Amino acid sequence: MDTVKRTKILQAAIKVFARDGFFNAKVEEIARQAGVATGTTYLYFTNKDDILISIFEEEMVPIIDNMKNNLLRKKTAREKLEAFITGHLTMVREKPDMAQLLELELRQSSKFIHGYNGTKYKEYLNIISEAFILGQTNGEFKKEIHPTIFKQILFGALDQISMNWTLSKSRKIDLEDSADQIIKVILDGIAA
């Protein structure tokens, strides 16, 4: 297994998917940009979906790493969750192409939506629940909220905001601002 060639194909795929979208991207074009024949692609990946999912799994590694390190530096659970929220949105703002791939294109892959047990996806979400559990243990957070549900709530909120920003042509909404608002709502609630 030639790792160099595999990586070349993945890098080409990132470009092509970002430019044309997953659906319109042609495997032939990915191969061309990677400097290999169409068939070669299928020696390294089982199909087009597999290319996309592989991009996800591999791009998530440094993202998860980075996020975990950042949270390590924070003392309270609240600070950790705040760091997750701002960190996620900063990532979306600074790497919009990658964000578009992970947020939008990935969801068009049938294989991803159904039956995909993405380890990296789970790992990313678990950063949230771990911080939350810490907060429950040390008395910062309410005990009656289930960590598994909480991580879905927070991630769902973040994801929706990110997606909207990525989709909006103008991108006039300030993501820093959105981060503050999410923090306020989720951590403090909306009651006056």
The answer to whether residues 60 and 69 touch, using CB atoms and an 8 Å cutoff, is: no
CB of 165 to a copy of itself, least distance (A): 10
DSSP element (H, E) containing 27: helix 27-34
Overall residue count recorded for the chain in this entry: 192
State the amino acid at position 47 in one-letter form.
N
Nearer Cβ to DNA (32/74): 32
User: What is the contact mask toward a copy of itself in residues 131 to 170, using x (rule: CB under 8 A)?
Assistant: -x--x---xxxxxxxx--xx-xxxxxxxxxx--x--x---
For residue 152, state whether it binds DNA (rule: CB under 7 A): no
Nearer Cβ to a copy of itself (7/46): 46
Nearer Cβ to a copy of itself (3/117): 117
Nearer Cβ to a copy of itself (18/43): 18
DSSP element (H, E) containing 5: helix 3-24
Hey, which residues between 22 and 81 contact DNA (CB under 7 A)? 24-28, 36-40, 42-43, 46-49
For residue 117, state whether it binds a copy of itself (rule: CB under 8 A): no
| DSSP class per residue in 86-120 | HHHHHHHHH-HHHHHHHHTGGGG-HHHHTT---HH
**What gap in Å lies between CA 67 and CA 16, rounded to an integer?**
27
75 secondary structure, DSSP code: -
For residue 105, which of 176, 53, 58, 153 has the smallest C-alpha distance? 53
The answer to whether residues 111 and 120 touch, using CB atoms and an 8 Å cutoff, is: no
Euclidean distance between the first and final Cα of the chain, in Å? Answer: 60
For residue 186, state whether it binds a copy of itself (rule: CB under 8 A): yes
Choice from 37, 113, 171, 176 touching a copy of itself (CB under 8 A):
113
Contact residues for DNA (CB under 7 A)? 1-2, 5, 24-28, 36-40, 42-43, 46-49
Contact residues for a copy of itself (CB under 8 A)? 21-24, 78, 104, 107-110, 113-114, 132, 135, 139-146, 149-150, 152-161, 164, 167, 177-178, 181-182, 184-192
